[in-house]
A = this chain, B = another copy of it.
Amino acid sequence: MERKRIAIIGLGLIGGSLAIRLHEKKISSRLIGMDANPEHEAKALELELVDEILPLDEAIQQSDVIILAMPVDKMTGLLPKILDKVDQQIVLDLGSTKSQLVEAVRNHPKRGRYVATHPMWGTEYSGPAAAVRNAFENKAVIICNEEESDEDAVQWTKIMYSKIGMHLLQMEASAHDLHAAYVSHISHITSFALANTVLEKEREDSAIFGLASAGFESTVRLAKSNPAMWVPIFLQNKVNVLDVLNEHIEQLKKFRDKIQDGSEDELKKLIEQANQIRRIIK
A231 to B264, CA, bound (A): 7
Within 8 A of B (CB), among A170-186: 179-180, 182-184, 186
A1 within 8 A of B: no
User: In the assembled complex, how far is the CB of residue A13 from the closest CB belonging to chain B, in whole angstroms?
Assistant: 13
Bound complex: CA of A165 vs CA of B122, how far in Å? Answer: 32
Chain B positions within 8 Å of A267 at CB level: 227, 231, 234-235
Q: Is the CB–CB distance between A230 and B271 below 8 Å? A: yes
| CB-defined contacts of A216 to chain B, threshold 8 Å | 183-184, 187, 281
Question: Given the complex, which residues of B lie within 8 Å of A242, measured CB to CB?
Answer: 256, 259-260
Residue from B186, B259, B275 within 8 A of A224 (CB atoms): B275
Q: Does A139 contact B (CB under 8 A)?
A: yes
The reply to whether A252 and B121 contact each other, CB–CB distance below 8 Å, is no
Q: Which of A113-165 contact B (CB under 8 A)?
A: 120-124, 139-140, 142
What per-residue 1/0 map shows which CB atoms of A213-252 lie under 8 Å from chain B? 1111111111111010011001100100111111111011
Interface centre among A202, A220, A274 (most CB of B within 10 A): A274
Query: Which of A196, A218, A264 has the most chain B CB atoms closer than 10 A to its own CB?
Result: A196
Chain B residues within an 8 Å CB radius of A140: 210-211
Bound complex: CA of A139 vs CA of B214, how far in Å?
9
Inter-chain CA distance A210–B249, complex, in Å, is 25
Residues of B within 8 A of A202 (CB): 179, 182-183
- Establish whether residues A224 and B278, one from each chain, have CB atoms under 8 Å apart when the complex forms: yes
Beta-carbon nearest neighbor of A222 in chain B: B215
Does A276 sit at the interface, judged by CB under 8 A?
Answer: yes
Residues of B within 8 A of A248 (CB): 193-194, 197, 252
Known: A183-B198, A223-B275, A278-B224. A259 touches B230 (CB 8 A): no
Q: Which residues of B contact A271 (CB under 8 A)?
A: 192, 225, 227, 230-231
Contact of A235 among B122, B211, B264 (CB under 8 A): B264
Give the contacts of A65-107 with B (CB-CB under 8 A): none
10 contacts between A and B (CB under 8 A): A122-B215, A182-B201, A183-B202, A183-B213, A190-B194, A193-B255, A193-B274, A197-B247, A220-B277, A235-B267
Interface residues of chain A, those whose CB is within 8 Å of chain B, are 120-124, 139-140, 142, 169, 179-180, 182-184, 186-202, 205, 207-225, 227, 230-231, 234-235, 238, 241-249, 251-256, 259-260, 262, 264, 267-268, 270-281
**What 9 A-B pairs come out closest when comparing CB atoms?**
A227-B271, A192-B274, A195-B274, A195-B277, A193-B251, A187-B219, A197-B248, A223-B274, A227-B268
